[in-house]
Amino acid sequence: METFDTLEVDHIIEKYGSDRSFLISMLHDVQAKYRFLPEDVLRYISHKLDIPLINIYRIATFYKSFSLTPKGKHQIRVCLGTACHVRGGQRILDSLERNLGVKTGETTEDEKFTLERVNCVGCCALGPVVVVDKEYHGNMEVSKVEKVIEKYS
């Protein structure tokens, strides 16, 4: 039994002309809609595009940007690249874990936040950096963590 709107998924597929070569783009759109790649949607896409399900899973598990488990409404990424790490990135991450009540890689019970660590966000001069969705928060300090969380709550 399907737990998703087939018309919405059909719209995503049709957006790309049902062209199998756009599978990655379709998966990005599905993930933007559902905040992860639900198994029933992947099965539906497999059927509609006549692509073996294992091939879809191969792509979904190869690219780190895809998730097979639900993500929070807001994704918080803490940079722990060299510049951010030496400027206190780990302390920022530890503070976020305490404030959100989750470990890195987990989603809060209310599904508002998913906390992740990344190796580099490409703005070392602003380190340590926390990215919430697509908004960058540079020169982060432990004292600013609660304020950042409140902004998205």
pLDDT of residue 3: 73
Q: What is the pLDDT of residue 128?
A: 96
pLDDT at 5 over 90: no
At 1, the pLDDT band (50, 70, 90 cuts) reads very low
Side-by-side strand order, sheet with 135-137 = 113-118, 74-79, 130-132, 135-137
pLDDT 10s digits, 33-51: 999 999 999 999 999 999 9
Q: What values do phi and psi take at 118, rounded to 5?
A: -130, 160
Domain ranges of the chain: 6-62, 74-152
- Interhelix angle for 53-62 vs 39-49, to 10°? 130
Element (H, E) at 131: strand 130-132
H runs (alpha helix) in 16-88: 23-34, 39-49, 53-62, 82-86
CA 20 to chain CA centroid, nearest Å: 23
Task: List, for residues 111-153, the tens digit of each pLDDT value.
Answer: 999 999 999 999 999 999 999 999 999 999 999 999 999 999 8
52-111 tens-digit pLDDT? 999 999 999 998 889 998 899 999 999 999 999 999 999 999 999 999 999 999 999 999
pLDDT for residue 30: 96
- C-alpha to C-alpha distance for 79 and 89, rounded to whole angstroms: 7
- Give the separation between CA 82 and CA 52, rounded to whole angstroms: 41
CATH architecture of 74-152: 3-Layer(aba) Sandwich (3.40)
Q: State the Cα–Cα distance between residues 68 and 61, nearest whole angstrom.
A: 8
